[in-house]
Structure 1
Amino acid sequence: MSVYRFKSRETGDLVMLPAHGKRMLEILGKDPDSPGVLLPDDMPRAIDAIRAAVLNEEAEHKRLRDEAEAKGEVPPTFESVSLRMRSTPFIEMLQRALKERVEVVWGV
């Protein structure tokens, strides 16, 4: 897949590069290689899953930095655009779609 294009009747399309779109779908437990749909009833759980993944990533990065610092090593560097930043537009899309009770689709 060249890019992931998430669509909703309530919002404009949200386009993500393959690595980021795939990760978002994996967080949601969806098959990143197939078209799919996220129904309004599933959106609160999806939003919670993304937020939990963000917190887990931030905790892991902090742990790795603290560990390196304790050993006197150079702390690792991470992508300059975090999962939190990448997921924010997607969470906003899901919140708007949920409010209007419309689905979000991809790969169609």
Structure 2
Amino acid sequence: MLITFKSKAAADILMYEIHAKRLLDLLGKDVKRGIITAAETGTAIQKLEAEIEAEHRREHEAEEQARRQAQEQGLDEKEVEEEMARHAAKNVKFSARAYPLLEMLRAAHAQGRDVMWGV
């Protein structure tokens, strides 16, 4: 199922419900229908940016651990890089999924507008 985020500050955003749910859970909102008021946009932006930063830290730590394990297994640097590239190609990052909504929230915050979905 698709969720359509709407705001008078930006173009509509379509997102699969499964991906929208993670973002909205982080913001404490229901995935079926809701609103992020103009007053809430600043806090919502901060929460999404903090989660993106946390994701980057977790990815960096996982990469470092994978490098150490690969070196212990005797793989050379090229093989390690190839394996990491294969893994990265399979996964869409949280930041990539969050970016359109984050940009909408920034525009809504700047213009004092709400963001709604399920209406």
* Residues in 2 aligned to 1:96 and 1:71: alpha-carbon distance in whole angstroms: 43
Alignment counterpart, residue 46 of structure 1, candidates 44, 47, 52 = 44
* Residues in 2 aligned to 1:54 and 1:77: alpha-carbon distance in whole angstroms: 19
Map 1:1-108; keep pairs closer than 5 Å. Answer: 2-32=1-31, 34-72=32-70, 75=84, 77-78=87-88, 79-108=90-119
The one-letter code matched in structure 1 to 2:98 is: S
Identity of aligned residues (%): 28
Computed over aligned residues only, the root mean square deviation of the Cα atoms, in angstroms, reads: 1.9
- How far the C-alpha of 1:10 sits from its partner, in A, is 2.1
User: Which structure shows the higher helix fraction?
Assistant: 2
The one-letter code matched in structure 2 to 1:15 is: L
* Consecutive unaligned residues in structure 1, runs of 5 or more: none
- How far the C-alpha of 1:8 sits from its partner, in A, is 0.8
Q: Secondary structure at the match of 1:30?
A: coil
Deviations 1:68-95 (A, max 9, x none): 2212266582454322222222111111
* Consecutive unaligned residues in structure 2, runs of 5 or more: 74-82
Q: How many residues align?
A: 106
* Residues in 2 aligned to 1:70 and 1:80: alpha-carbon distance in whole angstroms: 21
TM-score normalised by the chain length of structure 1: 0.85
TM-score normalised by the chain length of structure 2: 0.78
